Amino acid sequence: MMVDNVSKPEGSPDPQKVVEEINRKAGRNMPQAVATAALLIVVIVGCLLISLQTFVVLVIVFMILALWELRVDFATVGLHIPVITLWLCSVGMLLATFYFPRHVEAMAVSSIVAFLAVVVMSTMRVTLGSHLSLAVAGKLAASDPGERDGLGPSSDAEPPVHSRMSNVAVSVFSLMYVPLLAGSIVLSLTFHGHPVAHAIILVFLPALSDTGGLFAGAWFGRHKLSPRISPKKSVEGLIGSMLFAVIGAVAVFASTYAHLWSTMWWVPVVMGVMVGIVGTFGDLCASMLKRDIGIKDMGHLLKGHGGVMDRVDSILLAAPFLTVLLWMTGM
């Protein structure tokens, strides 16, 4: 028996075109991004439910992956960072911050030791076999020449050779950008007796802010925020980022600090606005870095998100601000 094809009602939108339009406005594959985000939420919540130590290990794993992505990104323009030294020092920093009784002092001392080790090792060039060369070749091949604006080398060109001081500079930047800022996340677990709430605030509020900015910018974005750095960022997206972050902060505050609502009601508002602004600034800084290097994404490890660094840049930059706010308000 033959079944007639059911035709779509005339004038109804094509779902495929709707998704393509959303992907174009958002600048990413939204179905993949949503699926990846859902998986990350499950992993993070699962680690928090198991133990704080498991969550710290997860932070360390993300930090190691982020440093590898920076290693590949800088290598595309001939810059070298001592990734193994950064891995070892960073793991030591985060574990010392979490386990030593005097957490702030442990973080400070381990940061100084890491700084000295990274400076020394960044003057040397240690190869990692063929893995780095393959990763760099893949990064250059994936880059759209039209988007590079002549800032980075093409896939068939040799990267330029830089001075040792340039390598030292980007190595110290990598140390401060990833492990030092990630240390703020671990530090927030050690005071005032609300480690799970602190972890949720520091990890999920910036992510929620990114989501709000993404959807608000895709649907309502009309006024460009910084067209030279990131053409897709809009004022409406910034407002959406702050609004979503405030809503998330109020939800966490109501579930954990409800007894403080009458006197500390302003804290989640300040927290949400701060995360929206700082997170957007972190995204712009990452966009500027990508533009200077001449790449589209910082990595490729997270489907729909470009890479680990593209996912955690706003989390890292917001972490010290949120940690200080939580400590000062006694939350």
Chain-centroid distance of CA 177 in Å reads 10
* Count of domains observed in the chain: 1
Centroid of chain to Cα 149: 24
Q: How many angstroms separate the CA atoms of 237 and 284, rounded?
A: 13
- Do the beta carbons of residue 207 and residue 233 sit within 8 Å? no
Give 199: exposed, middle or buried? Use CB within 10 Å, 0-12, 13-18, 19+: buried
What pLDDT is stored for residue 298 in this prediction? 67
Per-residue pLDDT at 100: 95
Within-domain flag for 6: no
Q: Which residues of the chain have pLDDT under 50?
A: 1-7, 130, 146-151, 153, 155
Q: Does residue 239 belong to any structural domain of this protein?
A: yes
Q: Is 94 part of a structural domain of the chain?
A: yes
Look up the domain containing 284 and give its range.
28-329
**What is the 3-state secondary structure of 92-161?**
HHHHHHHHCCCHHHHHHHHHHHHHHHHHHHCCCCCCCCCHHHHHHHHHHHHCCHHHHCCCCCCCCCCCCC
pLDDT digits (tens, 9 = 90+) for 191-246: 988 999 999 999 999 988 888 888 877 788 777 877 777 777 788 888 989 999 99
Burial zone of 139 (CB within 10 Å; 0-12 exposed, 13-18 middle, 19+ buried): buried
User: Sign of the C-alpha dihedral, residues 61, 63, 66, 68?
Assistant: negative
Q: Does a structural domain hold residue 19?
A: no
| Distance of alpha carbon 330 from alpha carbon 214, whole angstroms | 32
Q: Domain for residue 9, yes or no? A: no
Report the pLDDT value the prediction gives residue 236, as an integer from 0 to 100. Answer: 85
At residue 29, the pLDDT reads 61
Within-domain flag for 125: yes
Q: Is residue 16 part of a domain?
A: no
Task: Tell me if 257 sits within 8 A of 331, measured CB to CB.
Answer: yes
What's the pLDDT score for residue 103?
Answer: 95
Residue 56 within a domain: yes
Query: Using CA atoms, how far apart are residues 189 and 61, in angstroms rounded to an integer?
Result: 17
Q: What's the confidence (pLDDT) of residue 164?
A: 80
pLDDT of residue 149: 47
